[in-house]
């Protein structure tokens, strides 16, 4: 499921958030040069997936240093 949910725009948001540190969605949208409502939607989905978290001051952050995604391939018969 993670592969189907992870878009280039969402990957860019995670990368931007890691570089800038915890920030509000508004600040993140400005740094990423993206529309606030689209960033808000993407961040909500990234929180649901556990890839970002929200702190008590409405700041978003990435709770890990890396994301390891593996795709098992079928064994040839």
Q: pLDDT (tens digit, 9 = 90+) per residue, 58-75?
A: 899 998 776 666 666 777
In a domain, 71, yes or no: no
Domain count, the chain: 1
Work out the angle at residue 47's Cα, subtended by the Cα atoms of residues 7 and 65, and round it to the nearest 5 degrees.
80
Q: pLDDT (tens digit, 9 = 90+) per residue, 7-61?
A: 889 999 999 999 999 999 999 999 999 999 999 999 999 999 889 999 888 899 9
In a domain, 26, yes or no: yes
Q: Residue 71: which residues within 8 A CB-CB, separation 6 or more?
A: 3
- pTM confidence score: 0.78
Using CB atoms within 10 Å of the CB of residue 70, give its burial: 0 to 12 exposed, 13 to 18 middle, 19+ buried.
exposed
pLDDT at residue number 59 = 93
**CATH number for the domain harbouring residue 46:** 1.10.10.10
Domain that holds residue 15: 2-61
Residue 11: φ, ψ to 5°: -60, -40
């Amino acid at each position: 499921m993670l592969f189907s949910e992870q878009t280039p725009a969402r990957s860019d948001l995670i990368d931007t958030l890691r570089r800038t540190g915890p920030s509000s969605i508004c600040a993140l949208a400005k740094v990423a040069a993206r529309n606030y409502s689209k960033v808000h939607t993407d961040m909500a989905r990234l929180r649901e997936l556990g890839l970002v978290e929200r702190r008590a001051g409405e700041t978003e952050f990435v709770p890990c240093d890396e994301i390891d995604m593996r795709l098992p391939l079928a064994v040839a018969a």
